[in-house]
Amino acid sequence: EDKVVQSPLSLVVHEGDTVTLNCSYEVTNFRSLLWYKQEKKAPTFLFMLTSSGIEKKSGRLSSILDKKELFSILNITATQTGDSAVYLCAYQPYSGAGSYQLTFGKGTKLSVIP
């Protein structure tokens, strides 16, 4: 059973478009929700959203967390070809062992065409 569901699975847009990527998650012991960008190899950290930080922005990227409806969105405005990547959402629960384990969604593959 998937605990983190991302949509859409893939998306093709033109440069300059605005995109919204979605992530819904399971509620059990919610600690935080993280977004990553993965191009060729290692996922690159983008944002971490928690109960005390439900909105983050960095340049053209922004993200919000809706704890009531159990979802998060990642917005990218004025897209560029360099934004082409797989965007991963990861859920991080509280655990008795104090672990910071991440459970990832399958990702959204974004392709930006000139």
Partner 1 sequence: KAGVTQTPRYLIKTRGQQVTLSCSPISGHRSVSWYQQTPGQGLQFLFEYFSETQRNKGNFPGRFSGRQFSNSRSEMNVSTLELGDSALYLCASSSGTVGEQYFGPGTRLTVT
| Rounded Cα gap, residues 88 and 6, in angstroms | 8
If one asks whether residue 41 binds partner 1 (CB under 8 A), the answer comes out as yes
Q: If residue 101 lies in a helix (H) or strand (E), which one and from where to where? A: none
If one asks whether residue 42 binds partner 1 (CB under 8 A), the answer comes out as yes
We find the least distance from the C-beta atom of residue 16 to partner 1, in angstroms, to be 30
Q: Which is nearer to partner 1, 17 or 104 (CB)?
A: 104
If one asks whether residue 1 binds partner 1 (CB under 8 A), the answer comes out as no
If one asks whether residue 99 binds partner 1 (CB under 8 A), the answer comes out as yes
User: What DSSP line would sit under 50-84, residue for residue?
Assistant: ETTB-EEEETTEEEEEETTTTEEEEEE-S--GGG-
